Amino acid sequence: MRVLVPLLIVLGVLYVWDVNYNSGVLTAGATSMLRDISRSIR
């Protein structure tokens, strides 16, 4: 449980940085990857 909070903070910071300075390239790639994973699970 103690590991989860810093991980969420890091993910939030990465997300904000990506949207502001990287025009959402990482975020778009990650969301499409997550969609593919959730499709293959079902």
Mean pLDDT for 3-31 is 89
The span from the CA of 6 to the CA of 14, in Å, is: 12
Average model confidence (pLDDT) across the chain: 88
pLDDT at 10 over 90: yes
pLDDT for 23? 86
Domain residue spans of the chain? 3-41
Mean pLDDT for 13-34 is 88
pLDDT at 40 over 80: yes
The set of residues, in sequence order, having a beta carbon less than 8 Å from that of 19 and lying 6+ positions away, is 27
Mean pLDDT for 14-38 is 88
Q: Model confidence at 21, in pLDDT bands (50, 70, 90)?
A: confident
The set of residues, in sequence order, having a beta carbon less than 8 Å from that of 18 and lying 6+ positions away, is 24, 25, 26, 27
